[in-house]
Amino acid sequence: MMLNQLKELQIKFNEKIVNSSSRGDIEELKKEFIGKNSPLNSILQELRNADAQTRQEAGKLANEIKTQILNTINELQEKFDQDDLKLQLSSEKKDISLPGMNLSFGSKHPLNLVIEELSEIFSELGFEMVDGTEFEEDEYNFQRLNLPEGHPARDMQDTFYVNEKQVLRTHCTNMSSRILSKLSQTGSEIKQHGSVSFGNVYRRDVDDATHSHQFMQIDAFLIGPKISFANLKWILQYLCKRLFGDQVNIRMRPSYFPFTEPSAEVDLSCFKCLGQGCKLCKNSGWIEILGSGMFNENVLRLNGINPQKNTALAFGVGVERIAMLKYGISNIRDFYENDIRFLNQFHFFGN
Ligand SMILES: [Zn+2]
């Protein structure tokens, strides 16, 4: 009786398995024929109470059938796995006629390229490079630079005040003030000292194509008993030729900065049209490039230096301005958005 039941089960399974074409079908069969509630399982349960002979005969057959079902199901599952793999491989087949993928190399940021170039020039000239604090005392950012409280240039509109006494530095000249103070504290006579400070500065500006609330500056000064305006002019001319080529010239126009007297705005002869007039120089043949001057006597005094014994030339360069000119960049925001397409243009400069 049991043996017949078992044989019928086996036949039924063999019929059904032939028509199974998916993993789902197989799962169903597995459940139906060898699952917890399957007839085969009930038979195996019943066998426990059957007589010894039935147990031996039917038990043997039941186990054989169970093993056969399991093996068949496993084989089919394996076949499905193989089919899937083949399908996947054929869809991922390599097309060797496709163009190769370029390896991507990093490139230096254009602002860093300019800073590196300027650093090189300045160190050749004997200047010391200093990296300063961006979070600065009002005293060093303003007061010691001849910008007392209430001075229009330190208007709340322009400065990020952290609290009443501290600001985000508005220029790198804060470091000039710190270094001058330090020099004066040594007590010994100053022979000659040149420093360059560089880094981020902050102004409360509305960001547009040519303005950014954060930008980079390089600020330099050279102090000594015999430093003159002629030295300033020589250094600036040398610097511009190094940056933009031997053909360029500079001109200096009287200007006003609170920490220098006299002060001069420096223009560069247009390196693109060589003075003929073009879009870059707005047809004037000249490009505004930096601010300069001799440190105001008050600045020297406020930092403990005797203006009768020492004079100092000073100038500040906007790093973005130089980079925009050198690399033909028209939007200052490009420097800060870190768009990889923009940065990748600088592969060939200095790498
Ligand atoms: Zn021009």
| pLDDT tens-digit series, residues 277-305 | 998 899 999 999 999 999 999 999 999 99
| CA 222 – ligand 1 centroid, Å | 31
| CA 45 – ligand 1 centroid, Å | 99
Distance CA 29, CA 63 (A): 17
Domain carrying residue 302: 110-346
On whether residue 335 sits in a domain, the answer given is yes
Count of structural domains within the chain:
2
69 & 148 share domain: no
| CA 334 – ligand 1 centroid, Å | 23
| CA 268 – ligand 1 centroid, Å | 10
On whether residue 273 sits in a domain, the answer given is yes
Instruction: Say which residue the tokens 């003929």 belong to.
Output: 276
137 & 20 share domain: no
| CA 295 – ligand 1 centroid, Å | 31
242 touches 119 (CB < 8 A): no
On whether residue 94 sits in a domain, the answer given is no
On whether residue 97 sits in a domain, the answer given is no
306 & 181 share domain: yes
Pairing of β 250-257 and β 260-269? antiparallel
| pLDDT tens-digit series, residues 77-109 | 888 888 888 888 888 777 777 777 666 667 788
Residues composing the chain: 351
On whether residue 104 sits in a domain, the answer given is no
On whether residue 70 sits in a domain, the answer given is yes
Residue set of the binding site: 261
263 & 141 share domain: yes
Average pLDDT of the chain to the nearest whole number: 88
| CA 278 – ligand 1 centroid, Å | 4
163 & 27 share domain: no
Element holding 291 (H helix, E strand):
strand 286-295
220 touches 196 (CB < 8 A): yes
200 & 128 share domain: yes
Q: Is residue 351 predicted with pLDDT exceeding 50?
A: no
| pLDDT tens-digit series, residues 175-223 | 999 999 999 999 889 999 999 999 999 988 777 877 788 889 999 999 9
Angle of the 39-47 helix axis to the 52-91 helix axis, nearest 10? 150
* CA 209 from centre of chain: 20
158 & 199 share domain: yes
258: CATH = 3.30.930.10
pLDDT class of 345 with cuts at 50, 70, 90: low
On whether residue 249 sits in a domain, the answer given is yes
| CA 244 – ligand 1 centroid, Å | 13
Task: Say what the pLDDT of residue 103 is.
Answer: 67
Distance CA 312, CA 299 (A): 10
Residue type, 240: C
Residue set of the binding site for Mg(2+): 261
179 & 34 share domain: no
What lies within 8 Å, CB to CB, of 31 at 6+ separation is 38
Smallest CA-to-CA distance from 310 within 188, 145, 196 is with 188
| CA 225 – ligand 1 centroid, Å | 39
61 & 134 share domain: no
| CA 103 – ligand 1 centroid, Å | 38
Task: Say what the pLDDT of residue 310 is.
Answer: 97
On whether residue 351 sits in a domain, the answer given is no
- Pull the structure tokens for residue 62: 């039941």
Task: Say what the pLDDT of residue 77 is.
Answer: 87
| pLDDT tens-digit series, residues 223-254 | 999 999 999 999 999 999 999 999 999 999 99
305 & 205 share domain: yes
End-of-domain residue from the set 54, 87, 120: 87
57 & 130 share domain: no
214 & 342 share domain: yes
